[in-house]
Amino acid sequence: MTLTTARSGEPTVPDSATGPGRGEARGAAVGAALAGPLVSTQWLCDHLGSDGLLVVDASVVAVSGGDGRTEYVSGIGRHGEGHIPGAVFADLLEGFSDPAAPFAFTRPGAEAFAAAAAALGVDADTTVVVYDGAVGQWAARLWWLFRSFGHDRVAVLDGGVTKWREEGRPLDSGTVAPRPTDRFLAAELPGFWSDRGDVEAVLAGDRSGTLVCGTPPKDFTARHIPGSVSAPAVRLIDRGTNAFLPAAGLRDLFADVLASPDPIVAYCGGGIAAAADALALALLGRDDVTVYDGSLNEWASDPAAPLASA
């Protein structure tokens, strides 16, 4: 089992583990400028092109399959139509997931993650700003992955490319060829992920925990793990700006969750919206959140697993 109650005092990956060389000198200033999990469009505009800064488009596109079910395809096409200048594209379907796993978007192992990050041009000293073309859930997933593998110099662009575009900021077409590095090694840290056994232990009362479901309201009504609190990722943002709600709005949304001191296990359909919930909770100061990586994809695959509705 992988659930822990907090990440205070968690180990960090030393520079020697993430690659020798220039240490913290390159990109230190822009990295130090990160004030939290989010950066604003103005912040990115001010820092765009800075040494040591890498902007990453993590977009995934939802499409209707032949059977009417939602399927997910790479966002590389939309990236080519218009992306933030200098941004490289990250493939969450393949490179930053385990394509051999039985469930979509399963996190990769440390070695595979390191290879994917290095292929983008990330090393130990790179400050990564991630965005997407949706409501931030894909960017939050990559943000969570980077942090879980020991890279803290990462933030999500608040409002994503939607807000950037609406503000009339520049966009480039085509793709940017990454400049791969061979200086990134990853080590999975404790306190970021939960598994099926952890959730079963919470349900059985063998360990404390609050289950938070990030699926849309209609999906939550249809099925969720018993005892869960609904916190739809689509409600984390201001519909007018596509940016995350201010702290007061997030506190209202998570009121039932914040009322308990128990550690939080966030889940959804496949561990994506759950990462957005985790980011929002980090904005509220909660560092005791884990993401159930398999989420309902794994949970519901067992006919004996309990599910609730309404």
Q: Which residues are catalytic?
A: 268
Measuring CA to CA, how many Å separate 242 from each of 56, 170, 269, 271, 295?
A: 18, 18, 22, 21, 25
Among positive and negative, which fits the CA dihedral 37, 252, 274, 90?
Answer: negative
Report yes or no: 19 and 181 within 8 Å, Cβ to Cβ.
yes
Residues 232, 216, 113, CA angle at the centre, nearest 5°? 75
Instruction: Tally Cβ neighbours within 10 Å of residue 15.
Output: 15
Q: For residue 277, what are the contacts with CB-CB under 8 A and spacing of at least 6?
A: 212, 214, 231, 233, 236, 266, 268, 289
